[in-house]
Amino acid sequence: ASEIDTTSPGIYLAIAENYFLLDETSSAIRMAKKVQSLDPHNLAALELIAASYEKQRRYREAMQAYEEVVRLSPGDLESIYHLTNLQIINHQPEKAYTSYKKMVEEGLEDPDYRLRIGNLLLQNRALPQATAIYQEVNQAFPDYQPGYLALAAVAKQQKDTTAAIGWYRKALEKNNRFDDARAEMKNLLESGKRYEEAIAIYQGLVAKDSTNLTDKLQLGQYYFIKGDTAAAKAWLSRVVQQHAKSERAHLALGALYHFNRDTTAEKILYEETLQRNPGFLEVRQRLRDLYVNEKKWDQAIDLYKVLQNNDSTYVGARVIIANLLMQKGDTLQAMQTAEALNQSHADDWRAPFTLARMYLMKAQHAKARPLFDKVVGLRSDLPGLWTLRGVNFLQMDSLKLAADNFSRALQLFPEEPEMNYYVGLILSRQRKTNEAIPYYEKALKTEPQSIQTMLALSAAYDEVRDPERAEQLYKIMLKQRPDLAVVLNNYAYHLAVRKIRLQEALDLSLKAIQLEPDNGAYLDTIGWIYYQMGELERAREYIERSFKLRNDSAEVAEHLGDVYEKLGMLDEARAFWLKSLQLDENRNEAKEKYRKATQ
């Protein structure tokens, strides 16, 4: 068309627009300039040139193009808005503020748009212009919370915490329901430990709105944090009287008693509260926990007997009663309660789950299995149910069923750390350590403080001969839990196997044994350290004790054979290497030792 008619601006503009849509902005600019040569006042071409420059990040040329657009069409708010943004990007805040004022004169009312310009100025450190815009918005729209937040943001950028808090207070004086302002103010007060000021502010908020329970409870908390326990108690007691039907108020006062270790007052409060408000389930739970801590099992159970025949609490109350009976040690009554509940409410997942968990705890895995199957059928969306089902399979020594369970669970919950951990554990047990490691690593990435996962992963690293990465994990664990016996023992064994820093390994192992003196694995570790140190009689003493406790361990049997060999007791050495192979035919080193010893 342009070849037929070389004088039509419309044709060249259409070509320019198509180039722009195809992201061929240089061609779009060239064609739009052709339009300008034919029609110098063509706004569409000028706007296209400006937009193309902006796409190319040629902000100065884009700004100049928009200046020309605004000159030709002074009332075009969209173009003025673009121009304002470009002036800010080009570090011309005074011009940007002038353009902003022009937009307001032309009818820009929306406070959100106006704040966006202020925010862009603030990001570019143009504080005077940003502040001016925020103040104008705040004056024009005093019921608009973001205006106060913006002015507080300027104060925070200037590190003027007092001014920032002042703006939040003004916001709340205007509208006590400005929750963002309240949250930001609370954060500043607490991070700066300005508790005296916090108390004064919240006293004012409560005086202005006596119905706001959240502010009242916060005031009580500030009294307590400041160290004025008497004032906190007096205030929260008053709040409980004013809000007698609010469970939150009673829980707050109870928490104060709890922190002060005044168990008697806490119990009396909850007991009296339940007499007046039997529907307060969390208060009931707190009182139950107090009774349990004192081993007052019957009183804890009685709390839920009154609920066990209500339609809304029938199942929940009976589940709690069954669990309390189990904790009490009345296993028979607990099982009977859970079995009866499962018979009457089998379609409520909590009923079969409670019974399944009890069977699991009693090592009755075959009975637990169909119940766990039913539970995951009823609530496949709960990862914890899949985890316990898989653990039940593992304790049945059914790796295949456990692997299938966790494989299905991992499809449903690919980011769940427990699922990744157990998939890794199963692969490790199948001697597929290299395949297990990525699952352990993913589990640890999601839950980086998990000792369970770090122990498994460090053992896997040791298995694949990557001791440096294992060492890193042991150091993290030891720093996290220096008093955890399994961490001390495993780190000690890691060092002993590498035959390095044996005195450090011995110190770690002795601490583990002190914590758990009859742990067969730990006795084997210290025995193996003594073996590496050449103290053979001590090694023999500990590893023999270990084997008495763990006579099904191929590793301990092999270690004992090694000790006997060094002591010249070759018949005993052969016998224990053979025992090791009978327990685990895949122990290649034991196999080679036995072969040489029987030649």
Q: Is the residue at 141 inside a domain?
A: no
Query: Quick check: 516 and 485 in contact, CB under 8 A?
Result: yes
In this structure, is residue 569 part of a structural domain? yes
Question: Is position 415 within any domain?
Answer: no
Alpha-carbon gap, residue 488 to 526, rounded angstroms: 11
Residue 494 has φ and ψ, to the nearest 5°, of -55, -45
Q: Where are the beta strands (DSSP E) in 272-430?
A: none
3-state secondary structure 31-54: HHHHHHHHCCCCHHHHHHHHHHHH
Residue 565 has a pLDDT of 96
For the record, the structure tokens of 372 come out as: 């766990």
Residue 338 domain-assigned (yes or no): no
The type of residue at 577 is: W
User: Does a structural domain hold residue 445?
Assistant: no
CB 558 within 8 A of CB 576: yes
Residues sharing a CB contact under 8 Å with residue 484, sequence separation 6 or more, in sequence order: 451, 477
What is residue 564's predicted lDDT score, i.e. its pLDDT? 96
Q: Is residue 199 part of a domain?
A: no
Domain that holds residue 592: 557-599
Closest to 234 in 3D by CA, of 220, 250, 248? 220
Buried (b) or exposed (e) across 281-295, using 16+ Cβ within 10 A? eebbebbbebbeeee
Averaged over successive runs of 10 residues, the pLDDT of the chain (599 residues) comes to: 70 92 94 90 91 92 90 88 91 94 90 93 93 96 96 95 96 93 96 96 94 96 96 97 97 97 97 96 98 97 94 94 97 97 96 98 97 97 97 95 97 97 96 97 97 98 96 97 97 96 97 97 98 97 96 95 96 95 92 90
Residue 63's pLDDT is what? 93
- Dist. CA 127–CA 416, nearest whole Å: 45
pLDDT value for 377: 96
pLDDT at residue 599 in the model: 82
Output the six-digit token pair for 559. Answer: 């270690």
Distance CA 369, CA 85 (A): 65
Give residue 449's pLDDT: 95
What is the reported pLDDT for 257?
Answer: 97
In a domain, 588, yes or no: yes
Q: How far apart are CA 474 and CA 468, in angstroms?
A: 10
Q: Structurally, how many domains does the chain consist of?
A: 1
Predicted local confidence at residue 1, as pLDDT: 62
Within a domain: residue 492? Answer: no
Global pTM exceeds 0.85 = no
Angular region, 494: left φ>0, alpha ψ -120 to 50, beta rest: alpha
pLDDT of res. 74:
87
Return phi, psi of residue 178, to 5°: -75, 85
